[in-house]
Amino acid sequence: MQCEFKGGNFPVAVCYLGAGQALNCESGAMAWMSDGIKMETNTGGGIGKLFGRAFTGESLFMNRYVAERGGIIAIGAHAPGEIRKITLSPEHPIVVQKGSFLAKDESIDLSIFFQKKIGTGLFGGEGFIMNKLSGTGDVLLEIDGGVVEYTLNAGERLTIDTGYLVMMDATCSIDVQMIKGVGNILFGGEGLFNTVVSGPGKIMIQTQPMVQFVSKIATMIAARTQK
């Protein structure tokens, strides 16, 4: 996937397709495209894939763009931040949070990833089900704000607040940790639980989860309305 990133903090990925080349995108991700590119809407792999996408919170259908001749298609982010291209191999599948997937080569398989621990699914902030991307090719991920990357060694852990984890290698594991101390729980503003990711593997963290940003704006609007 050959892409050029434009737009600064309001990014789009301008992807160049050769004749016959196709790109699978999240529904509504296309910003503009050149003449000669055909759109096909599908379930992304059958009824099973459709229901799986419903569980992850993604749109039920996926758009497939095929270049009848060479052309461009621009994939836009839904919020201020970054778009990152990640190259995968069969030995390097990744797990991403719901809402971060934008587009992929046709050779990449998008499936669901179940949290094995009930506590992690209930309280980890990422839900029971995340997206797993595997195969050979490139994927585009949407990141709210900026991105910070870490490579964790085996057994090394990082504690992350809800909504900040964007991607982790499939070799990593995820768990939850209850915040200690009544005062910290009542007045710390961090809720009851944090997400704990353990290595080995690479992780990506976003600096401004849109859910938290929108919640802050809503709180400010409500406060002004009450005056």
Q: What are the two backbone dihedrals, phi and then psi, of residue 43, each rounded to the nearest 5 degrees? A: -85, 0
- pLDDT tens-place string over residues 193-220: 778 899 999 999 999 988 777 777 877 8
Domain 2-215: CATH architecture, name and number where available: 4-Layer Sandwich (3.60)
- pLDDT tens-place string over residues 117-161: 544 444 444 445 788 999 999 999 999 999 999 999 999 999 998
pLDDT band at residue 185 under the 50/70/90 scheme = very low
What would the two tokens of residue 11 be?
């990014």
Which residues have a Cβ under 8 Å from the Cβ of 47 and sit 6 or more positions away?
none
What would the two tokens of residue 132 be?
């797993």
Q: Burial-class residue 43 by CB neighbours within 10 Å (0-12, 13-18, 19+).
A: middle
| pTM of the complete model | 0.80
Residue whose tokens read 């506590």: 119
